[in-house]
């Protein structure tokens, strides 16, 4: 059997619902609600910790919900409600979520996170045994997770949140700040990623009948974008793994928003 054209997009609402229906969940505080192609968060972290305290990082509330099926990529619209506190936390998109090859109790994944102060990060995490640990366990005393951070130029030693090229757009009706976030694995095993602004809306809406690899976004549509080389994905061909929506909420803060999957990017067999 051979691969068909690889299409990206919401072919129909029912198809997207089937592709993105909820799989694995790690969300002890039940922050993330929803299923199918839409997820929401409306959560107040009532822990009374001040930033810089010895327990502050331990009391950041974290959670994710994964897709039930594997995909080579996806695109999700992330919206942060105007009622959210400034810098309340991060809303993110996880891709290439899988078991660590050396430790079946650990996870490996990439994540793109955005915050409503116009900052973002893109990182790969390996050997994550506690998703609730600060920075997924990269500062643990035993069995540490390993982070590799990326920016528009590629791998970087700077693991802090980075500045978007422009401010997040604001929805005129709701006042929410939002962006379109996507990542996909190409045929050489590289991950191409982007954070897109409002000017990409029409192109994103027309994805259902387009080959994703042929899409070209104009420079003005990018808030940030880059390529993660196959040397850091360890793939030499297009590969599928689970996707997930992710959030963290800082102590004393309230974060409200939603994730809407515009579509998923996956391989399919040709029907002869």
Q: Residues of 73-103 as b/e, b for ≥16 C-beta within 10 angstroms?
A: bbbbbbbbbeebbeebbbbbbbbbbeebeee
Q: Report yes or no: 95 and 181 within 8 Å, Cβ to Cβ.
A: no
Q: What are phi and psi of 49, to 5 degrees?
A: -115, 140
Residue 244 lies in a domain: yes
Q: Do the beta carbons of residue 40 and residue 33 sit within 8 Å?
A: yes
Asked if residue 272 is part of any domain, the answer here is no
Least confident of 6-20, 26-40, 111-125: 6-20
**Structural domains of the chain, count:** 1
pTM score, whole prediction: 0.90
Is 39 in contact with 259 (CB distance < 8 Å)?
Answer: yes
* Of residues 39 and 182, more confidently modeled: 39
179-201 pLDDT, tens digit per residue, is 999 898 999 999 999 999 999 99
Residue 18 in domain: yes
In CATH, what number is assigned to the domain containing residue 180? 2.60.120
State how far the Cα of 143 lies from the Cα of 58, in Å rounded to an integer: 17
Average pLDDT over residues 217-224: 94
Between CA 250 and CA 115 the distance in angstroms is 12
User: For residue 94, what pLDDT is reported?
Assistant: 97
Query: Residue 82 is part of which domain span?
Result: 8-265
- Asked if the structure places residue 2 within a domain, the reply is no
**DSSP summary character for residue 117:** T
Minimal CA–CA distance to 162: which of 208, 112, 216?
A: 112
User: What pLDDT score was predicted for residue 44?
Assistant: 98
The DSSP call for residue 116 is: T
Q: pLDDT value at position 266?
A: 67
208 confidence band (pLDDT: 50, 70, 90): low
Q: Per 3-state DSSP, what percentage of the chain is helix, strand, and coil (rounded to 5)?
A: 15, 45, 40
Instruction: Report, as an integer, the average pLDDT of 215-234.
Output: 93
pLDDT in tens, 136-162: 999 998 889 999 999 999 999 999 999
Judge whether 220 lies within some domain: yes
Contacts of 219 (CB under 8 A, 6+ apart): none
Is 271 contained in some domain? no
């Amino acid at each position: 059997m051979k691969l068909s054209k690889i299409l990206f997009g919401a072919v129909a609402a029912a198809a997207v619902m089937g592709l993105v229906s909820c799989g694995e969940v790690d969300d002890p505080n039940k922050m993330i609600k929803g299923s199918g192609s839409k997820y929401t968060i409306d959560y107040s972290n009532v822990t009374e910790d001040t930033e810089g305290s010895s327990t502050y990082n331990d009391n950041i509330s974290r959670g994710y919900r994964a897709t039930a099926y594997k995909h080579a990529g996806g695109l999700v619209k992330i919206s942060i409600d105007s009622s959210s506190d400034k810098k309340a936390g991060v809303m993110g998109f996880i891709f290439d979520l899988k078991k660590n090859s050396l430790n079946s109790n650990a996870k490996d994944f990439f994540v793109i996170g955005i915050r409503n102060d116009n900052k973002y990060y893109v990182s790969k995490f390996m050997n994550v045994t506690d998703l609730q640990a600060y920075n997924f366990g990269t500062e643990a005393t035993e069995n540490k997770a390993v982070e590799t951070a990326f920016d528009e130029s590629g791998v970087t030693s700077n693991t802090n949140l980075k500045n978007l090229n422009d401010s997040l757009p604001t929805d005129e009706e709701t006042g929410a700040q939002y962006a379109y976030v996507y990542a996909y694995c190409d045929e050489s095993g590289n991950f191409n990623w982007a954070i897109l602004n409002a000017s990409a809306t029409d192109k994103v809406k027309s994805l259902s009948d387009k080959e994703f690899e042929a899409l070209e976004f104009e420079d003005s549509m990018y808030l940030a974008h880059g390529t993660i080389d196959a040397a850091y994905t360890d793939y030499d061909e297009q590969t599928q793994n689970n996707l997930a929506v992710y959030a963290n909420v800082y102590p004393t803060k309230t974060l409200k928003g939603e994730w809407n999957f515009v579509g998923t990017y996956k391989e399919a067999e040709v029907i002869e």
